[in-house]
Structure 1
C-alpha cells in the first residue's frame, strides 16, 4: 500500500527503502518499515488468517484494518498470474465509517496564507469528501480530511517554527465535519478558502477513503517545508491516481500553493469556489458606510445603542458581522451573545420592510494557482559609487513586497533562503546578502479592524559604512507599527524597529541600535512601486539613514524587470558625514 512502493513490493528483493510512516502499528513485519520483502510476506500471511489480529469491534481482522493494502496485494498477485485463497471477512466497522463519511466526490480546499501564525504563513490544503448529490451549502455537512502536526497547547510560535523545521513533531491525519474547518479558517483565523473539485471517479474516491481508514491514528514524520500537509495529501491522491506523479517535483520543499499548481498541471482540478473570510465580508460591507454610520455600528456592537432604534439594514448587518468578528477572539460572554441575538432579530424584522437589500459580496481576488511560482532567480547590472557590478540572486521561497501581486496579499511578504552574490569589474565574485528569513506584514488599519504592522529579518548584510569597512554582518532586525490605505492601491506604513549585528571580519565587533522605518507603496497597472526611508542610531554613536526607490514592472506572471535606487547617509560620532548611492536594473524569473 502507499508508504510502501508497489513496484518494489512484488520483486521479492529486500531493497534499501524506508517508509515515511514512523508508527510500528502500520507494519506486519517486525522490520517492515525498511524490509520490503518481509512486509510483503507478512501482509499476505495476515490476510490469509481466519482469525483476528487486532482487538476491538471496529477492525478485528487484518483485511478490515488495511482494506486498501489488501485490495492492492490481490491486484498485484492477479497481474502476476498468482492465485492465493483468502478468507471472506465481513468488516462492519469499516462499512459503518464509509457510510458515515458518504464520500463519492472529493474536493481540494486551499486556505490562504495568514502571516500572524507560523503554521499558516504559506497557506494550507486539506480534502473534503462529498456525497454524489451534495447541493450548495449542504457541503458544510460533508467531511474534511486534514494532516497536521500535533502541537502541545501553549507552545510559543518560535518553538513551533524551530520544531517544525527540525522534524520535532509527529503528523497525523484527522477527519472531521467540514463546517468545523469553515469556522476555524474563515472566522477564527480570518482566512479565505478556495475549493477545487477533483477529477476523481467514485471508484478512485473509494480507494482514497480505504487508505484514509488505514491511516487513522498513524504517526508520520512532519517537517514544515517538505513532509507537510500538502505533500501528504499529494501522496494520498497518488493512491487514487496510481499513474500520476504528483510528489516527484517536491524534493526540497512543498509549499501549499505549489501543490495546487501541480494538480492543475495534471488537469485534476475543476472550477474553483471562493469563500471569503469573515474580515473580508465585514470590510466589503463597511466600505459603503459613512463615518457617522460606522460610529453607529460600533455603538450597536458595544451595546450603547439599541438595535430597535436603527432603521438601516446595512448598518445592522455590518454591526452583526462586526460583533461576530470580535466574538471569536473572546471567551463566551452572555452579554455579547444577547447583543448578537438582538441584532439578528432587528435584521430579520427590518428585512421584511426592506426586502430588496442584500449584503455586499467581497470582490473575488485572483485565484491562488494563477500567482507567480515560489522559487526565483534574478540577474542585474548596476553601479555603486561609480563602480560597475553584476548581481546573481536566488530565492528558495516565496514572495516579496514588489513581486506580481495576483494571488498574494497586499502588504505581505515571506522570503526564505535568499542569497545575493556580487561581482565588481575586475574583482572576484563575493557574497552580498543572505536572508535566512524575511517577513513583512503591512496590514492596513481601518475603523473596524486594527491589525498590527510588523516585520522581522534574520540574515547576513553588507553594511555600507566606513566604521565597519563595508563588511558583512550577521544581523537580526525587526519592529512593529501601523499601516493605512489612504486610497485604493496605495499603502502607507511606519514602524519603530531595532537591530543587532555582529561583524564577520574576525574583529568580534557587535552593534545594537534602534530607529524608525516608513514607506509608501503603490500597486499600479504595470507593477508595484515603493519608496522607503529608514533611520537608525547605534550605541556607538553612528546614525545610518537609507532611502530606497524601487519599481517592479511585470512582464508575465513569472517574469519581471525591477529598477532600484538606494542612497545611504551615515553620520559618525565625530560629526563626520558619509554619503553613497547605488542604482541597478535586473530581470527576475519565478519557477
Structure 2
C-alpha cells in the first residue's frame, strides 16, 4: 500500500499552496489587465499624454522611458506597466501612471506605493498651483529666437521657506556654426535636459541678463490634473531625451503634458509647435484663469517712455535723477493729467531701478527716491500690453500672382516659422522679422523656379533712445538671387549681416537705416559685397500697413558695380488669419532696370 510520510505530506501541501498562490496571482493579474483592455485605457487621452504620443508615435522613444520599447504599442505599454505594478516593479519610477491606473482599475493588485525620494520631492516643492510661463523671444539669439515656455510649481503660501520651482525642457546650444546648428537641431538631434530649479533664479536670468520679459499664466486645473502633471514631472527627470528644434522641443513637451487636461484638447499645430502656440492652445482650451506680466527693466522703460510720449519730459526726469536732485520730485512737479502723472511716477521708479542695477546709484539713494513716490494708485497693469497671445500665428502659406518684366508667374511661399516685416507686429515691442526655413517658388506653364530659401533670416528694428542705446540688426543665411552688372540673376548661397538705427516717429510710424556686409558663393565664384538698407514703416487705418525700403547694393557677382532696389508693399489685414499684399519692386542701375509687381494672399495657421 502507498503511504505518504509526514515530511512528504508537508512538502505536498506547501507545493499545493505555492501553486494556488501562483495561479491566483496570475488570474488576478489577467483580470486587471483584461479590465484595463476592456475599458480601452490605452486609448485614453491621459495615457497618450503620459507617454508623449504625437501623431501616433512616442516623442520619447527609448528604453529609459518606455517599458515596451522593443515592441512598443499603447496596449503593450499598458500591459507591461500593470504587470510591473502588481509585481512591485517601477512603481517609484512612474507615480503618475501608478495613481492614474489605480484610480481607473478598482480591485487591482498593485503593490504599495512607498517611495522615499518621491516623497522628498513633494515635500520640497509643496505644490499648490501650476503656472505656464512664457519668456519673450529675442530673434537675434539662436537660443531664444522663438521664446521659451515652461512650468512654475507654486508652493503653498503658508510654507514660505519652500521656494517656487521652474520645470523646464531645453537644450544647450554649443556652436555658432549655423549650418552645423541647423543639422544638429533638425536632423541628428541634440541632448535634451528636463530640470527643476528655483523659479526666481530662472526668471532673473531672463529679466536681467537677457532683457526678456515674462508672462505668468495661472492654469485652471482640477486637483487631479495638477497631481498628475506634478507627478509626471518626476517620471521625466532621469530620461534620455533628444531635443529637435522643429520636432520635440520645449513647446511640444509642454503641449503634450497639457493635453492631460482634456480629451478634446485643441491643438492645430501639427507641423511645428512653438512656445507661443502653447500659450495660445492653453487659451483656446480655457486653461488660463489670469495673467501677470513681469517686464524687463529696459522693456518697461521703453513702454513708459512711449506712453508718456514726451521726450523732453522723460529727459528732464532722467537729468534730475542723474544729478541726484531727488527733492525736485514733489507733487507739484508731476503732470496735472492723472494718467500721465501715474506714468511719470512709474518711469522714475523704473529708471532708478535701472541705474541701481547698473551700479550708477547706491541702494540708499534708490530707496530715498522710490520711497518718496509711494502711492498705490499709480501702479500700472501691464497684462494686456503687447500680450503674446494676441500675436498672429507663426506659420503662413502664401499664394501670389507675380509679373516680372511683363512675364507672368504664379508663386507659392511657405514659412514654417515665424513672421515677416509685412505682418502685423504691433503686439511685439519692436518691428521684427524672423524667417526660418521659408521656401519661395515661382512657376509658369513651362517650369518651376526655386526663387529663394531663407534658412535663417532675422531683422530686428529696436527704436533708439538715449537710455538703453539699442542697436537694430539683421542677419541672413539663404539661397537667393543676386544680380550682375546687367541685372541678370545669379543663384548663390548668401551670408550677410549688419546693424544700424531705428527711430520711432509715432506709435505707428518707424524709420530705419542699416549697413550690411555679405558673402555670395556658388560653384563658380565667391565674392564679398555690401549694401545699405533704408526703410519706412507705417500702420494705417482700416488695418493696413505700408513698408517702403531702398537698398543700395555694391559688388554682387564681384562686378565692382552697384544697383538699387526700391520696394513698396501695402498690406491689408483681413483678420488674424488672412493678409492681402500688393507690392511693387524696381531694380535699376545706370543702364538697366527690372520691375516686379505682385498680388499675394497670405494665410496664417
Q: TM-score, normalised on structure 1?
A: 0.79
Using the TM superposition, give the Cα deviation of residue 545 of structure 1 relative to its aligned residue in structure 2, in angstroms. Answer: 0.9
Does the alignment pair 1:569 with 2:582?
A: no
Does the alignment pair 1:149 with 2:187?
A: no
What is the CA–CA distance in structure 1 between the aligned matches of 2:487 and 2:196, rounded to whole Å? 56
Distance 1:464 1:383, change over 3 A: farther
Larger CA deviation: 465-474 vs 257-266: 465-474
How far does the alpha carbon of each residue in 1:337-363 deviate from its partner, in whole angstroms, 9 at most, with x for none?
8x24123232255237xx587366558
Matches within 5 A, 1:179-194: 179-194=200-215
Which one of 523, 531, 542 corresponds to residue 548 of structure 2? 531
What is the CA–CA distance in structure 2 between the aligned matches of 1:349 and 1:114, rounded to whole Å? 34
Matches within 5 A, 1:136-285: 142-150=164-172, 156=176, 158=178, 163-241=184-262, 243-245=263-265, 249-285=268-304
Using the TM superposition, give the Cα deviation of residue 168 of structure 1 relative to its aligned residue in structure 2, in angstroms. Answer: 4.3
Matches within 5 A, 1:108-123: 108-123=132-147
Using the TM superposition, give the Cα deviation of residue 386 of structure 1 relative to its aligned residue in structure 2, in angstroms. Answer: 2.6
Which one of 98, 105, 114 corresponds to residue 70 of structure 1? 98
How far does the alpha carbon of each residue in 1:103-155 deviate from its partner, in whole angstroms, 9 at most, with x for none?
34322222222223212211221122336779xxx999543322111456xx5
Using the TM superposition, give the Cα deviation of residue 167 of structure 1 relative to its aligned residue in structure 2, in angstroms. Answer: 4.5
What is the CA–CA distance in structure 2 between the aligned matches of 1:366 and 1:345, rounded to whole Å? 30
Matches within 5 A, 1:152-551: 156=176, 158=178, 163-241=184-262, 243-245=263-265, 249-286=268-305, 288=308, 291=312, 294=315, 297=318, 300=321, 305-306=323-324, 308=326, 310-311=328-329, 318=347, 321-322=350-351, 324-325=353-354, 336=359, 339-351=361-373, 355=375, 358=378, 364-424=384-444, 427-465=446-484, 467=486, 469-503=488-522, 508-525=524-541, 526-538=543-555, 539-551=558-570
How far does the alpha carbon of each residue in 1:367-414 deviate from its partner, in whole angstroms, 9 at most, with x for none?
323332222222222432233333222222221011123534441111
Distance 1:316 1:397, change over 3 A: closer
Distance 1:274 1:377, change over 3 A: same
**Helix, strand or coil at the partner of 1:120:** coil
What is the CA–CA distance in structure 2 between the aligned matches of 1:392 and 1:139, rounded to whole Å? 57
Structure 1 alignment gaps of length 5 or more: 11-16, 54-61, 331-335, 572-576
Structure 2 alignment gaps of length 5 or more: 1-40, 49-55, 335-343
Distance 1:312 1:399, change over 3 A: farther
Number of residue pairs aligned between Structure 1 and Structure 2: 539
How far does the alpha carbon of each residue in 1:408-445 deviate from its partner, in whole angstroms, 9 at most, with x for none?
44411111222222235x64332222222211001111
Counterpart in 2 of 1:13?
A: none
Using the TM superposition, give the Cα deviation of residue 470 of structure 1 relative to its aligned residue in structure 2, in angstroms. Answer: 2.5
Counterpart in 2 of 1:588?
A: 602
Distance 1:141 1:472, change over 3 A: same
What is the CA–CA distance in structure 2 between the aligned matches of 1:166 and 1:149, rounded to whole Å? 15
Using the TM superposition, give the Cα deviation of residue 7 of structure 1 relative to its aligned residue in structure 2, in angstroms. Answer: 4.3
What is the CA–CA distance in structure 2 between the aligned matches of 1:493 and 1:409, rounded to whole Å? 15
Larger CA deviation: 89-98 vs 308-317: 308-317
Distance 1:279 1:161, change over 3 A: farther
**Helix, strand or coil at the partner of 1:65:** coil
What is the CA–CA distance in structure 1 between the aligned matches of 2:117 and 2:462, rounded to whole Å? 49
What is the CA–CA distance in structure 2 between the aligned matches of 1:211 and 1:356, rounded to whole Å? 41
Using the TM superposition, give the Cα deviation of residue 180 of structure 1 relative to its aligned residue in structure 2, in angstroms. Answer: 2.9
Using the TM superposition, give the Cα deviation of residue 231 of structure 1 relative to its aligned residue in structure 2, in angstroms. Answer: 0.5
What is the CA–CA distance in structure 2 between the aligned matches of 1:43 and 1:392, rounded to whole Å? 48
Q: TM-score, normalised on structure 2?
A: 0.78
Kept in 2, the 8 Å contact 1:485–1:491? The answer is yes
Max Rg structure:
2
Larger CA deviation: 278-287 vs 213-222: 278-287
What is the CA–CA distance in structure 1 between the aligned matches of 2:446 and 2:456, rounded to whole Å? 29
